[in-house]
Amino acid sequence: MATRLFSSVILLLILMIAQTSMAQETSDSISVINAARGRFEHKNATIDLKELLHLTQKNPEAYNQINKAIKQRNGGIITGAIGGGMIGFTLGSAVGSGEPMWWLAGVGAGFFGIASVLSSESNKKVYRGVAIYNAGLNDPKTPGKSPVILGMTSTGLGISWRF
């Protein structure tokens, strides 16, 4: 009787250690650190937007979202630079001895507004793409359909079997 109890305790400890060691593996999921700056985390390493695009090639829907986000981001950067140049030129003319063209500053502000909308939409597409990628992962260490569960219960340590 004592040897059977001892072997049961040893088996239980082995199962607990195996479950704990599986929990220490790094996840294949991607987390967003800062979408506006293009910083993400994958397997405890910081990656940029180009690496994110490369990682999402396995999931076409996520890849398309990230690719659209990159195009919108680049369009927003170009549009913002044009708007900033127009505003800067007008302010430079106002400070200098020249006659400022205030309508040019207004057009520049319009370009700047368009750039901020493009940037915001780009960030939304990045978050959506990462969420689609993470939802599509088939992570073996999260056995959502495992019939055996080892863990703490209200009466102590226990094993439950779902079927």
**DSSP code string of 48-68:** -HHHHHHHGGGSHHHHHHHHH
Give the amino acid at 58.
Answer: K
Residue 2 lies in a domain: no
For residue 155, the model assigns a pLDDT of 72
- Is residue 107 situated within a structural domain? yes
44 is a domain residue: yes
Helices (H), ranges, the chain: 2-23, 49-55, 60-95, 102-135
127, part of any domain:
yes
Structure tokens at 71: 């195009």
Q: Are 53 and 66 in contact (CB under 8 A)?
A: yes
Beta strand 30-34 pairing with 156-161: unpaired
Please give the average per-residue pLDDT across 82-95, as a whole number.
93
Angle subtended at Cα 79 by Cα 73 and Cα 81, rounded to the nearest 5 degrees:
105
Is residue 7 one of the residues assigned to a domain?
no
pTM over 0.75: no
Q: Does any domain span residue 29?
A: yes
Q: Which two tokens stand for residue 58?
A: 């396995």
Q: What is the chain's mean pLDDT, rounded? A: 81
Looking at the structure of the chain, the number of domains it has is 1
Range of the domain at 130: 22-161
In a domain, 96, yes or no: yes
For the ranges 43-52, 102-111, 115-124, which has the lowest average pLDDT? Answer: 43-52
What is the phi/psi pair of residue 156, to 5°? Answer: 125, -155
The answer as to whether 77 is a domain residue is: yes
